[in-house]
């Protein structure tokens, strides 16, 4: 299944692979990878018990994705360890770690869907034409239920930070 007419990239219509998720659904299980002295895995089960914000970006090597990650890192500092926050991209975990180190990112964790692409496909967020993730923000409650989702219509634009953070606070 694929979705057309949901997003554009620089004004060009793109296709999202997979079934779209809806608020109220339980988030699909996932296995992502991150660098921490080697490759480690992060699963949905690892995040249960606290509200979670998943900030999904095409690549941290682009200005809008870098801005989104830095902005959520700054905004989430006030919430401390009351919430989980993860930026998901298909960048290699080592590139994600290098970005975080260079930019002083410490409040939001990065994890990669590079290996299987299952996260993007299961969450309906893979841009078929680019094989990258589209820009989106998903908030989960402590049980893994989706309480908020924004798929940004134009991939090069930033998400609605205020709405996402309000949803995260409401889930707390």
Catalytic residues: 65
Distances (CA, A) of 53 to 11, 38, 168: 27, 24, 7
Signed CA dihedral, 68, 153, 45, 25: sign only: positive
Residues 122 and 30 sit within 8 Å (Cβ to Cβ)? yes
Work out whether strand 132-133 and strand 126-127 pair parallel, antiparallel, or are unpaired.
antiparallel
Structure-token pair, residue 6: 């949901």
Task: Please tell me the distance from the alpha carbon of residue 123 to that of residue 107, in angstroms, as a whole number.
Answer: 24
Task: Please tell me the distance from the alpha carbon of residue 157 to that of residue 27, in angstroms, as a whole number.
Answer: 25
DSSP letter (8 states) at residue 6? E
DSSP letter (8 states) at residue 12? E
């Amino acid at each position: 299944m694929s979705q057309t007419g949901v997003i554009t990239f620089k004004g060009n219509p793109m296709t999202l692979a997979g079934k779209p998720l809806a608020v109220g659904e339980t988030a699909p299980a996932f296995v992502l990878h991150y660098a921490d002295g080697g490759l480690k895995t992060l699963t949905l089960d690892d995040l249960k018990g606290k509200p979670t914000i998943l900030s999904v970006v095409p690549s941290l090597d682009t200005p809008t994705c870098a801005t989104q990650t830095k902005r959520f890192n700054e905004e989430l500092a006030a919430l401390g360890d009351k919430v989980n926050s993860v930026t998901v991209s298909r960048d290699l975990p080592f590139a994600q770690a290098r970005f975080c180190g260079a930019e002083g990112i410490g409040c939001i964790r990065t994890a990669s869907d590079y290996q299987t692409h299952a996260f993007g496909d299961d969450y309906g967020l893979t841009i078929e034409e680019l094989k990258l993730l589209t820009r989106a923000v998903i908030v989960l409650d402590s049980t893994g239920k989706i309480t908020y989702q924004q798929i940004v219509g134009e991939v090069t634009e930033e998400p609605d930070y205020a709405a996402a953070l309000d949803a995260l606070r409401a889930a707390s």
